[in-house]
Chains A and B, each alone.
Chain A
Amino acid sequence: MHFSEESRISAHHNYLVNGRMTQGFVLGEPDSGDRFFFLADVVLPAESTPRISARLYGPEGNLLCEVQWNRLGRNPGRCTYRSLEGGFRILDEAGSVVLEVMTEKFPRGYLSGISGRLFDEEGRLRLEPLGDNSRIPGEPPRFLTRPYGGF
């Protein structure tokens, strides 16, 4: 039986990944400059939306786009951002969903589910859909206990 503390959760906002809750996590290296990363940052009580930043690649390892605090940044892959009720979606040039983040509102808190199919710069699958959230194959994410901040 595995009983070690796997992450910390917040009373205010959490992400759902691998079927489990966490107040924040990071995949890859946000500070690397040109490599894959996915950051679901800790959301403080003053805010009600998730804080997603990422550098996303296609299955061939081609850079699609960057996301900074839920907004598209550098975008060589001509991705589009679509705002949804309760979240947002990023589509590739062909209109396929790359990433979707949807937030469920509870009476006194929020839970953001992340789904999509994310690849790194070598074309390795780093996140894939699993039911109403996502699975992280291979190396587990680093769980955050405080906001990651800048990168």
Chain B
Amino acid sequence: MGEQPGRVWVFGDYRNYFQNRVTLQLIGKAKELAQEIGTGVTVLVVGERVRQYAMEYVAHGADAVMVAEHPDLSEYRVETYTALVAEWVETYGPEILLAGATAFGRSFFPRLAKRLRTGLSADCVDLHIDPETKLLVQTTPAWGGELLAEVITPHHRPQMATVHPGVFEERPHDPEATGGIFYPEVKIRKEERIRVLRRRTRRSRKIRLEEAQVVVVGGRGLGSKAQFEMLEELAELLDGEVGATRPAIRAGWTEEERLLGQTGKSVRPKTLISVGTSGALQYTAGILGAGTIIAINRDPHAPIFKISDLGVVGDAKSVLPILLEELRKRL
């Protein structure tokens, strides 16, 4: 017998691979978690021709990949995938099972958790191992994002969580990496009650942050997704784009493509409106090319005011509705 797969499992969501980095980000975090509980990271790679993704996951830190290749797995089908992965879990009992909070992950993981009779924390913004109990602590927004809850799964396995893209950092691609490969038996159960009649790709609006003349940026100070959505209306009224700081992305208020700063994009708009951002260097590094910077923050000592041309000291919850109302009247 060879080695057994590590007990921290990550579901490999390889669709749109070079844009969708959440699996790689999860592998990075899973490595830390696995180390804490003395095991390794195994990535599940399910599909028809998935060989290059298995290699990619090893390059980004997977200790092993568990591969199922079959023509009937070419489509992401929730019922088929649930039956397949549930059987693997029941047979080999991983401690932790993670997936990205993508459209598929949000559909697939609740069904899988139900099938396995275990808990699931959705859209987590942090994960860590409790040093005493060795349980996975899953931090997830609760009450509409007003507070963060820490969830544990003490009595059932695996401990399951989905994580929003952009929360964790991916490890760099290492061409010298090697990893184990497992080919468990693939039993396809024709349980699908959904038939794919035709496929149409939704055209998503292209984000043109770098080209925008007006950029509206939201940060942690906005406090909730609902507040952040007001920025989208503000940007639309000004024919601009919405950017975000890392805390806003971690909170799941918007997609990672909108991240500005050292690990995100750099912009040079004529006007930049920064709302609820403290002005941390990691963020301001990406906006220093802006023409006029307008900052809204309730803390008069926030560093953002040092680089802004115009500052409004006030709570975004109060200022934004007034600003929107005025703009609606004038535009």
Interface residues of A (CB under 8 A from B): 1-12, 14, 16, 19-23, 44-45, 106-109, 111, 145
Q: How far is the CA of A22 from the CA of B183 in the complex (A)?
A: 12
Q: How far is the CA of A85 from the CA of B4 in the complex (A)?
A: 39
Q: A1-B185, A4-B2, A14-B51 are in contact. Are A9 and B179 (CB under 8 A)?
A: yes
Q: A1-B184, A5-B180, A108-B175 are in contact. Are A10 and B58 (CB under 8 A)?
A: yes
Q: How far is the CA of A111 from the CA of B55 in the complex (A)?
A: 10
In the complex, the number of residue pairs spanning A and B with C-beta atoms less than 8 Å apart equals 97
**Additional pairs, 10, CB under 8 Å, beyond known A2-B184, A109-B56:** A1-B185, A4-B1, A6-B183, A9-B179, A11-B177, A11-B178, A14-B51, A14-B55, A108-B59, A108-B173
The interface bits of chain B over 156-199 (1 if a CB of A lies within 8 angstroms of the residue's CB, else 0) are 00000000000000000111111111111100000000000000
* A10–B178 touching, CB < 8 Å: yes
For chain B, give the interface size range. Answer: 20 to 34
Residues on B with beta carbons closer than 8 Å to the beta carbon of A20: 181, 183
Residues on A with beta carbons closer than 8 Å to the beta carbon of B92: 3
How far does the Cβ of B138 sit from chain A's closest Cβ, in whole Å?
A: 27
* A145–B182 touching, CB < 8 Å: no
Residues on B with beta carbons closer than 8 Å to the beta carbon of A3: 4-5, 91-92, 182, 184
9 A-B pairs within 8 Å (CB atoms) are namely A2-B185, A3-B5, A4-B182, A5-B3, A7-B180, A11-B55, A11-B179, A21-B51, A106-B52
* A11–B182 touching, CB < 8 Å: no
Residues on B with beta carbons closer than 8 Å to the beta carbon of A23: 178
Interface status of B242 (Cβ within 8 A of chain A): no
Q: Report B121-147 residues with CB < 8 Å from chain A CB.
A: none
Q: How far is the CA of A5 from the CA of B91 in the complex (A)?
A: 15
How far does the Cβ of B74 sit from chain A's closest Cβ, in whole Å?
A: 16
Q: How far is the CA of A6 from the CA of B5 in the complex (A)?
A: 11
Q: A1-B91, A3-B91, A45-B176 are in contact. Are A11 and B59 (CB under 8 A)?
A: yes
* B64–A5 touching, CB < 8 Å: yes
Q: Report B37-78 residues with CB < 8 Å from chain A CB.
A: 51-52, 54-56, 58-59, 64-65, 67, 69
Residues on B with beta carbons closer than 8 Å to the beta carbon of A16: 51
Residues on B with beta carbons closer than 8 Å to the beta carbon of A14: 51, 55
Q: How far is the CA of A42 from the CA of B1 in the complex (A)?
A: 22
How far does the Cβ of B238 sit from chain A's closest Cβ, in whole Å?
A: 38
